[in-house]
């Protein structure tokens, strides 16, 4: 019987793919979108521009990252910290996210993240 793929493994793979876009900037520098919501409605979704923001941040272009999505750089910082924390935990024999300060499993952190994302979305759409 095979084990299901763990979320941290998927997150690390997506992180590596996002980092690779820094060296292959095909989508990150064009107006082409892969967002299904935007393709169907013509309106941006709350995460529109996040991929390009991450790619720009990986290239070190912080102003472009901010332009594409203001939460791109904070996401990259938190994502990097979480993956590093998880790797450290695995070395110590603990579970991946054990003790990570900003766990979205905590209701206050989850609600705070939702309010932040929707607030930024409202400002961007207005």
Instruction: Report pLDDT digits (tens) over 31-74.
Output: 667 788 888 988 888 988 888 888 888 888 999 999 999 999 99
Confidence at residue 123, expressed as pLDDT on a 0 to 100 scale? 93
Report the C-alpha gap between 20 and 83 in whole angstroms: 17
Decide which of 57 and 19 is more confident: 57
Model confidence band, residue 119 (pLDDT cutoffs 50, 70, 90): very high
The domain segmentation of the chain, as residue ranges, is 7-125
DSSP state of 2: P
Q: DSSP per residue over 18-71, as a string?
A: HHHTTTS-TTTTSS----HHHHHHSSPPTTTTHHHHHHHHHHT-HHHHHHH-TT
The yes-or-no verdict on residue 120 having pLDDT over 90 is yes
Prediction pTM value: 0.77
Report the C-alpha gap between 50 and 38 in whole angstroms: 13
Model confidence band, residue 104 (pLDDT cutoffs 50, 70, 90): low
């Amino acid at each position: 019987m095979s084990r299901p793929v763990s979320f941290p493994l998927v997150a690390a793979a997506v992180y590596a793919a996002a980092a690779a876009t820094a060296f292959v900037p095909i989508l990150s520098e064009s107006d082409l979108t892969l967002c299904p919501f935007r393709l169907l409605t013509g309106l941006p979704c709350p995460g529109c521009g996040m991929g390009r923001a991450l790619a720009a941040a990986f290239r070190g272009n912080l102003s472009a990252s901010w332009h594409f999505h203001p939460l791109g750089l904070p996401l990259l910082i938190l994502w990097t910290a979480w993956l590093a924390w998880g790797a450290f935990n695995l070395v110590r024999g603990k579970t991946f996210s054990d003790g990570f300060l900003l766990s979205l499993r905590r209701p206050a952190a989850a609600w705070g993240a939702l309010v932040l994302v929707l607030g930024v979305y409202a400002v961007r759409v207005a």
